[in-house]
Amino acid sequence: MEWDKLISNIRIPVAENDSIRNESLKIAFDSDYRRVVKSDSFRRLQDKTQVFPLDRNDFVRTRLTHSLEVAVLARDLLTEVIRLSKNKYLHTDLLSECYRLMETASLIHDIGNPPFGHFGEEAIRIWFKKNGPNLEVWEELTEQQKNDFLIFEGNAQTIRVLTKLHDYNGSADCGMRLTASTIDSVIKYTASSIELDKDILTKKKVGYFYSEQAIFKKIKESTKTENKRHPLVFLLEAADDIAYTFSDVEDGYNYGLYSFNELKNYLIKKTGIYSILDGENEASVIQTFIRVTQMKVYQSASKTFIKNYDDIMAGTFNNDLMNENINEIKLFKALKSFACDYIFNTKEIFDQEVLGFNIMNRLLDEFIPVVLKYDNLSEKMNKYEERLFDNISDWAIKLYKKETKGCLEPEKNYYRLKIAVDFVCSMTDGYARKVHDTLFK
């Protein structure tokens, strides 16, 4: 991979007048940033779950505040990479143009996630696993089309949002029309839903849906990354990993899910490091520990990026950046397992996740049979279904018409199902609950 191709002003989808505009990288990446910040999809992140579904405490992170924190860390990582590279073989001139790109990639990396966090993704998968085979249209779908729902991924939905679902909010003709470099910087996986391989980093999860396979190919062609990760993905992934690990621990403490001594004893037991979390003011000690350890971790990740630069550029690096054998990385990994034991697996979180799951399940129960009757000559909606269908956004209907132009009936069913999934995924936690309670209580 070559940096002059990885970092460019090519926009997706490509338009005829793009060559005439001839934007500089700075102008192009600044434009990407503005387009995202002004978008309704980005604003919705303020009411989408990071860890605590349907919570109204003001100290708990949302997807929006998490994304802003990722942006800060992504800049720090990039700064450290440039500093460490000095006069080596890295193209620091082009990397120095990427600060705004990394900020924008951070703001959009979760933009395709449904309400209720990762449990929202799981709710979609569970619904289709349970109910998909009972749908009359199910056997007409291809294996890939089925798997797009059975193994639904917010990562793949992000590409759909950026390149299509933003299409009809009145501000763009073809999605947000971001640069290929910015979009590719959030593509962690390059496999379709029938190409998964847990042993290969880029194929561990679904990278794109059947509906976006052509535009996915165009993105990768524009950056010349083919089936490899864009190198900046490693920095974004590290920033994301660092941000949510430390913020989950902080939010869990503020939420009262664990005590100071539980955290300290757990970390000592897991790492054998005793000189940690010392002091009388527990809240202050935790804050200092988080700040100092987080800085050491991102510095280590930057160092690992430089160390493995050749493999990263060749697309053969099959690991994350947090693998240096130092105390801070040991503590970082211990914090991740601590969060699982003391935060994610608590009754407080379980109860909220179950509520979110039930809301998602009911919405899909009601809307999927209805959308399957849309534009269907053989089966018409009744009056109740027509009223229910009126809740579907106009942009979802317009996109359906665009995507099904020239399609045969079996393929239309795939895009009909997409109407419902897109509609539900676009909801915030609060709006999903409001729709559920208004229509079905």
Give the pLDDT score at 367.
95
**3-class secondary structure, 191:** strand
CB 402 within 8 A of CB 175: no
Judged by DSSP in three states, 352 sits in helix
Give the chain's domains with CATH numbers: 3-114+156-223 (1.10.3210.10), 231-345 (1.10.3410.10)
Q: What is the pLDDT of residues 248-288, one digit of tens each?
A: 898 888 888 889 999 999 999 999 998 888 888 888 999 99
Name residue 337's amino acid.
Answer: S
For all residues of the chain together, what is the average pLDDT?
89
CA-wise closest residue to 215 among 175, 188, 186? 175
Q: Give residue 350's pLDDT band: very low, low, confident or very high (50, 70, 90).
A: confident
- State the average pLDDT over residues 370-386: 89
pLDDT at 184 over 90: yes
For 248, the enclosing helix (H) or strand (E) is: helix 231-254
Which phi and psi (to 5°) does residue 206 adopt?
-70, 125
- pLDDT score recorded for residue 59: 63
CA angle 328, 330, 333 (to 5 degrees): 110
| 57/60 Cα distance (integer angstroms) | 6
Both tokens of 259, joined, read 């005590």
Task: State pTM to two decimals.
Answer: 0.92
Give the tens place of pLDDT for each residue, 385-435: 999 999 998 888 888 999 999 888 889 999 999 999 999 999 999 999 998
Distance, in Å, from the CA atom of 191 to the CA atom of 196, rounded to the nearest integer, reads: 6
pLDDT of residue 171 exceeding 60, the answer is no
Q: CA–CA separation, 305 vs 134, rounded Å?
A: 48
> Position 226: which residue type?
E
Residue 57, pLDDT score: 60
